[in-house]
Structure 1
Amino acid sequence: MMENLCPRFENAMEIISKRWVGLILFELLNGAKRFSEMEADLPISGRLLSDRLKMLEKENIVERNIYSEFPVRIEYSLTDKGMSLKPVIEEIQNWADDWVSAKDIKEKSKA
């Protein structure tokens, strides 16, 4: 059992711990968003946001929805697999609220 669990756990942690992925998932928990909305809301370059969204699409965590309007509207939303991360993200938020202080954040940003 452990030989199957460890690689899966490690792979899951690798996916969700990539820089900015947590914030992207947190943004999408509130519903579908356009790329430009996420780019405006997150402190991340458009190129990196695009790379992360493509990676999350490949993992079937995020889906890209294209609406044939004029101009074409493209939105990103969480798949069922992505939505299943909601309790995990909420618990990380709870943990951060309880254990991560503003001082910790300031010290980390200086490093």
Structure 2
Amino acid sequence: MARAETVVGDRWTVLILRELFMRNHRFEEIQAQTGATPQMVAARLKALEGDGLVERRPYSTRPLRHDYHLTEKGEAFYPVLLALRAWGETWLKSPEEGRAVQYTHRSCGKPAGLGPVCESCGLPLRREDLTVKLSPAYREERQARSEAFKASR
């Protein structure tokens, strides 16, 4: 655990990984949704790249710009993220709040639950096997962060 913690045991790193799993690949999107400073995002992305969890891919040549994608090693972190989510949903929220994200398991077409296995069919959950629906409140929260970030630039 100590070795794993040195790679992903930081709040900003976990939030950056969350955004990559939510398919936000651009630096600005990641910064807006995590609330981290540009220096924090840059340092964590560089470390994640150095540790083999993330790879940079150019999306523009003039000027040269990159976006960030999970590697196989990075994708393997998904069950950990699901476990953190399950713990947070269970212990840190009131039942009235409801879930911020609802997953449907494509394999069975039913609610996946909190994971790491589908609560409906019992198969292990993989990101590519899930459809995602954000609650209206969470969607609004994310939109507000994006708009605030854009307005601050």
TM tier, shorter chain?
0.7 to 0.9
Q: 2:57 aligns with which of 48, 51, 65?
A: 65
In the alignment, is residue 88 of structure 1 matched against residue 70 of structure 2? no
Matched, 1:55 2:62: no
- Say which structure is richer in helix: 1
5+ long unaligned stretches in structure 1: 1-8, 103-111
- Letter of the aligned partner of 1:78 in structure 2? L
Q: CA 1:20–1:81 in 2, change beyond 3 Å: closer, same or farther?
A: same
Q: In the aligned structure 2, how far is the partner of 1:21 from the partner of 1:99?
A: 22
* Identical columns (%): 35
Instruction: Find 1:37's aligned residue among 29, 34, 42.
Output: 29
- Structure number having the greater strand percentage: 2
Q: Which amino acid aligns with 2:3?
A: N
Q: CA RMSD in A?
A: 1.6
Unaligned residue ranges in structure 2 (runs of 5+): 95-153
CA contact (8 A) 1:64 1:75 kept: yes
Aligned residue pair count: 94
Higher relative contact order (CA 8 A, sep 6+): 1
- The one-letter amino acid of 2:25's match is K
TM-score, structure 2 normalization = 0.56
1:47-91: per-residue Cα shift (whole Å, max 9, x none)? Answer: 111001001000001111113443433100111000001111011
The TM-score with structure 1 as length reference comes to 0.76
Contact 2:8–2:14 at 8 Å: present in 1 too? yes
Kept in 2: contact 1:32–1:78 (CA 8 A): no
CA distance in 1, matches of 2:90, 2:5: 21
